[in-house]
Amino acid sequence: MQLRYSFRMYPNGPQRSALARAFGCARVVFNDALRARETARTAGLLFVTSGELSKRVTAAKKTEERAWLAEVSSVVLQQSLRDLDTAYRNFFDGLRGKRPRMGAPRFKSRKDNRQSIRFTANARWKITTGGDLCLPKIGDVRVKWSRNLPSTPSTVTVIKDAAGRYFCSFVVETEAQALPNTADQVGIDLGLSHFAILSDGTKIESPRFLRRAEKKLKREQRRLSRKAKGSNNRTKARLKVARAHAKVTDARREFHHQLSTKIIRDNQAVAVEDLAVKALARTRMAKSVHDAGWSAFLAMLEYKAARYGRTFRRIGRFEPTSQVCSQCGVKDGPKPLSVRVWKCQACDVWLDRDSNAAVNVAKAAGLAVSACRARASRGPVPAQREEAGTHRDGQSTVVGISSL
């Protein structure tokens, strides 16, 4: 299987200038090629092929207007054309129903949050004996190697993010590393007051990284709004905002990695619910849903299960996991989010809503789990404020929940 390894880069002043030149040249080639194809489409002409676009790039280097394209590696320009082909292919596949629909290719801007270029083996890049990354027409760039690459990569992608940080990304082929078998199996119910509830009764608190950083983010964004557009101070303020967001993103990703690795290591089979995250992100809980990052977490669980020889299963999103008693299997009907503990009318057992749902997820996936952890000994209690939803503008209290 293929895995991506990313490492932080620390280019010096001249190297940052060379990278900025390479980013700009790749962007211009992409936009010129896209404009050529759109012009041909508008005029009713045939689709401009990749071979023809490559010839036009070579010819453009000999003109006065585009002579500076020769200052960067030609591989970077050719890979920019490949990126345009990929964008068109994904667009057409979406129209044919082969993949989810996506928009047509769009022009790139120098103000985009993410800039990237790619070097293949033809560019003759290499990792030096001193641990630097040697890139053509850029030089030996210092890299912070946090781990070893499992195999020799054929390409490297250099990325600059919105916070001004540089990364080198490698896609390498790796072999499955099966972990020792274990008898444990688990179902997972994802939530907002608790990030994850396992069928064995374990509840993982939600870190709420964005919520915790909101005060600092608001302060930096207010400072940014006061700066004059186009000024150097506005650029500095924008970087501070981007760095604050990057810290939140990095902390969330680290939490996802640690939790997903622990679950995969401790369980032979994992079952989750196929959540409609896009639909939930259009509700009043949108900020909390985005802060949780469910989709990224489930993607980590899936690829780690494949890598370490574990079983990963998704159940349908319309499975009534919160309506069925995990003890007797009787469907008791839908319940509002305010009900966290409920009593089964058939077997008179008090059930914890989240633990019961996690057990039902595991059972729906065909896993053998015990339902004893879903039992509770208290009556219905109101939901956590964060899970019940945000307040309407001007509303200071919610029925049953005092204002904070």
Give the residue numbers marked as catalytic. 189, 273, 354
Find the helix packing angle between 13-42 and 74-95, rounded to 10°: 40
Cα distance between residue 281 and residue 274, in whole Å: 15
Cα distance between residue 75 and residue 121, in whole Å: 9
Four-CA torsion 129, 131, 133, 134, nearest 10 degrees: -30
**Based on the number of CB atoms within 10 Å of its own CB, is 339 exposed (0-12), middle (13-18) or buried (19 or more)?**
middle
Question: Is 353 in contact with 192 (CB distance < 8 Å)?
Answer: no
Cα-based angle 29, 167, 290 (whole degrees, multiple of 5): 95
Find the helix packing angle between 232-266 and 209-226, rounded to 10°: 170
3-state SS assignment for residue 271 = strand
Q: Using alpha carbons, list the distances in angstroms from residue 364 to 22, 53, 119, 220, 318.
A: 52, 52, 46, 47, 11
Question: What are the contacts of 147-153 at 24+ separation with CB within 8 A?
Answer: 147/5, 149/5, 150/3, 150/174, 150/175, 153/5
Cα distance between residue 118 and residue 52, in whole Å: 21
Question: Is 30 in contact with 83 (CB distance < 8 Å)?
Answer: yes
Question: Is 238 in contact with 246 (CB distance < 8 Å)?
Answer: no
3-state SS assignment for residue 396 = coil
Cα distance between residue 66 and residue 84, in whole Å: 19
Q: Measuring CA to CA, which residue among 118, 215, 203 is closest to residue 159? A: 118
Residue ranges of E strands in 47-174: 115-119, 126-127, 133-135, 139-144, 156-160, 166-173
Cα distance between residue 264 and residue 312, in whole Å: 9
